[in-house]
Amino acid sequence: MTHITLGHTPDADDAFMFFALATGKVASRMFEIEHVIEDIETLNTRAINHELDITAISVHAYSYVKDYLILRSGASFGLNYGPRLYSKKPLQSQELANSIIAIPGKLTSATLLLKLLIGNFHGREMNFSSIPKAISSNSVDAGLVIHEAQISESTQFHTVVDLGKWWHNVTGGMPVPLGINIASRRSLKIEEIRNFDILFRKSIEYGLKHMDEALEYSMKYARGSSKDLIRRFVKMYVNELTVDMGSQGERSIGHLLEKGREQNFLSFDEILFSPP
């Protein structure tokens, strides 16, 4: 068996996707899996340092990694929704350039999307879970909110912009690409990467077919949110493109990264996907 380090986040949607693998509901005779659970910005950095065989990362971070293929399964796409910029008091878009904005990591896709919308801004990096409190305490003028707080905090703050809706409008309906899973070409053979991709898809499909069981497992990463809210969040970000991104997912990832390059926020060589 091939031993692999598998990085994913302590978030309900990731837990849902990896539930069947982590609990043995879907087993493999090919891989011995060591689960590495870290927040997304830590995984972004570890991928850049090439420390993990397979890992979840932000699409934004892919422009900084080398020798990784994008898996076809396990990606997070927003379908006319996505990260939201919240503020305590109403803010006009023209005020954002001079505002202090809390961000959940410089390499997150949410940060890249906001840059594409308003250009460079004064960002204050902090853990994603601390951002709502920073907005409430007036430590920042606005905060870029990801994960389930997009839903749970929606009535507490003013929505300056829903970046998923903005992206949907400016791209003519493309899904917004947020998170992907990548596999190392240095430590794994192409056939091993392809086989893991198939295994991962089976794990996601198992979760979707056994929704209540998978949600119960995911609740350990709910951070105090209700099961109903987590169910809603998981259904948003574990969708048909998560099972297999297909050409639609490939195009949206390519479009986001190309837009970043066109506006001189990114520089990268090529975008490589796992073979189908």
What's the pLDDT tens digit per position in 139-163?
999 999 987 666 665 668 899 999 9
Domain ranges of the chain: 2-77+176-262, 84-170
Please choose, from the candidates 177, 161, 207, the residue with its C-alpha nearest in 3D space to the C-alpha of residue 79. 177
- Rounded CA-CA distance 239/269 in Å is 29
- Rounded CA-CA distance 192/238 in Å is 24
Tell me, rounded to whole angstroms, the distance of Cα 28 from its chain centroid: 25
**Which tens digit of pLDDT belongs to each residue from 167-209?**
999 999 999 999 999 999 999 999 999 999 999 999 999 999 9
Residue spans of alpha helices (H) in the chain: 12-23, 40-48, 59-62, 109-118, 131-136, 149-152, 163-170, 190-209, 211-218, 227-237, 240-243, 246-262
Residue-level pLDDT at 150: 66
Residue-level pLDDT at 29: 86
| Residue 147 annotated in active site | yes
Q: Which of 8, 60, 147, 168 is catalytic?
A: 147
Contacts 24+ apart (CB under 8 A), 266-269: 266/60, 266/63, 266/112, 267/63, 268/62, 268/63, 268/64
84-170 is classed in which CATH architecture?
3-Layer(aba) Sandwich (3.40)
| Contact residues for 108 (Cβ-Cβ < 8 A; gap 6+) | 40, 41, 44, 58, 60, 61, 144, 146
Domains 2-77+176-262 and 84-170 share a fold: yes
Place of tokens 């951002």: 131
Query: What six digits make up the tokens of 80?
Result: 């006319």
The CATH number fitting domain 2-77+176-262, selected from 3.20.20.70, 3.30.565.10, 3.30.230.10, 3.40.190.10: 3.40.190.10
- Rounded CA-CA distance 16/51 in Å is 24
Residue-level pLDDT at 53: 98
Cβ atoms of 88 and 39 within 8 Å: the answer is: no
Residue-level pLDDT at 208: 96
| Segments in the chain below pLDDT 70 | 148-155
